[in-house]
Amino acid sequence: MLNEPQPKYIELKINRDFGDIITDYFEFLKRNIKKFTNVFLSYNGIFLVGLLITSYLLVSGFIGLFTYEQNQFAPGVSDTDETYQIYLIAGGILFFLIFLIVAILNYSISSSYMILYDENEGQNFEKKEVWQHTKNQFGNIVVFIILLFFIYLGFIIVSAILAFIPLIGTLVQYVIQFFITAWLGVSFFCMLREKRSVTDALGEGWNLITASFWKSVGVNFILGILNGILFFILALPVFVIIFIYSYHLVSNNIGVAETILPTIVYTIGSSVLLIGMVYSQCLTQFVNGMLYFTLHEKTYNTFTRSKIEQIGQLEE
């Protein structure tokens, strides 16, 4: 794999303006989508199977309860609603655990991938190195995620208060939301790339983001919308298939519990959507990776100084 022709390297350590961040993000995505997808599937295989099982439990529970509510007074219908409730509860718990693990895993893997891309000046690294880089800071990652929950809990409380303020409260809420997304994403890169402690990384991320507040918020807002549109376009065939199949069931008066096919269709459809959500999370962290390298270079000029020093050495 390392002997294959590599796509042209995109230098990440550049002080970009707003438009260049967006342009270079999509250029980076275009050139790395194939290799990163391979990394994503390699380390998420067992969890993707878990999401499939979770979808089956949730779909079976919903279909079972829906059918039971419609037919509970019909002759010969047994009291089986508790079984469907167990499906829903088990599916919900399993979904929460798997989605939490997958979120942490991919938040880390996408960051490690981008850091290794920078260190190797391209894709000249193996996928096992991505996992090794992530594993080396597993302790810090766990602590970071725990603090992340408390930070978002505070955000939820603030959002509830702002909800009582018409219009302005909503705007402020979105600004805070995208600021937190940028702050945590950039801080995570500080922790992984610079080997900082969790609190030190959060402090450094705060300094970098607040120094370019509106650029950071704006980049996450615009690319968040664009990534959302991209996800919608990719998920559109799934929505269309589910809609057409549901319309077929209703128009032909077919009960969803009469055959196993509706369960299969809805299970596969929901699984694909969940996997798409996880993958889009990785793309969001690439956004903050591009932002991190930009803000770091703007603040410290490390890449620019190294190039000046190289020119000076050549002239000597």
pLDDT tens figures, 21-47: 999 999 999 999 999 999 988 888 788
Structure tokens at 119: 């260190």
pLDDT at 253: 75
pLDDT at 81: 61
When pLDDT is cut at 50, 70 and 90, the band that residue 299 belongs to is: very high
pLDDT tens figures, 109-140: 999 999 999 999 999 999 899 999 999 999 99
CA pair distance 201, 208, nearest whole angstrom: 10
pLDDT greater at residue 200 or residue 249: 200
CA 141 vs. chain centroid, Å, equals: 16
Rg value, the chain, Cα: 23
Structure tokens at 231: 């996800």
Residue 84 pLDDT exceeds 80: no
pLDDT at 77: 46
pLDDT at 276: 83
Concatenate the DSSP letters of all residues of 58-98 into one string: HHHHHHHHHHHHHHTTSTT----HHHHHHHHHHHHHHHHHH
Q: Where are the beta strands (DSSP E) in 167-300?
A: none
pLDDT greater at residue 249 or residue 285: 285
Left, alpha or beta for 14 (phi > 0: left; psi -120 to 50: alpha)?
A: beta
